[in-house]
Amino acid sequence: MTDWGDLYREHVAAVTALAGGLTDEQLETTVPGSPAWTVHDVLAHLAGGCSDVVTGRTEGAPGPEWTARHVAERRGLPVGDLVEELRSHQDAVAAISAQDPRPAIVWDIATHHADLHEALGLGVMPERLWQPVLAGAGAMRLGSAGLPEDVDHYELFRALFSRRSRTQMQAWGLPLSAEQLDELCLFGPREDDQPVP
């Protein structure tokens, strides 16, 4: 069984290490997985999301108004402040997540961490950071059918969190209709092709 608290801490360590080395240009890069956001905005979301979970400020979560609020509140902050906020809440979030079979905040950081890797051309993040999330979300979306062996599992992880387009998913050649592929996506289908590492 996955220790979701430990996985969350691993993501925080990796994301904060990545954030500390980014240039101003990289921070202003648009993130295709979240096209209304820049890299800085994604970091603001990760900091704001964990802060809101710990403080109980979750009205509207996980909807767009909730995320827009905490991103807007942090838009002008330096990266160092975002990193510090993320780190300061990691133990509390890890404790909250440890026993949750579907810890949304852990799945969220994994998804956005992968978004950052793809937006910045950094390749696939280590398998230990995404495989447990795929297993958890895959069981929820695919049920007893299990993970298809003829699809790259990283690509399936990205698709489950609506990070691959209909066209990209149809190219897998699975014996699923367009509607069935759409239903795999937790946040609904998307039309825009995404960068593939």
Q: What pLDDT shows up at residue 59?
A: 87
The amino acid that residue 124 corresponds to is V
Residue 44: per-residue pLDDT: 98
Instruction: Domain ranges for the chain, please list them.
Output: 4-184
Tell me the pLDDT tens digit for each residue of 56-73. Answer: 998 888 888 999 999 999
Q: What is the pTM of this model?
A: 0.95
H or E stretch at 31: strand 30-31
Predicted pLDDT at 67: 93
Q: Give pLDDT, residue 144.
A: 75
Provide the pLDDT for residue 84. 98
How confident is the model over 105-159, as pLDDT tens digits? 999 999 999 999 999 999 999 999 999 999 999 988 888 778 888 899 999 999 9
pLDDT digit string, tens, across residues 23-43:
999 999 999 999 889 999 999
Exposure letters 88-112 (e unless 16+ CB within 10 A, then b): ebbeebbebbbeeeebebbbbbbbb
Res. 176 pLDDT band, cuts 50 70 90: confident
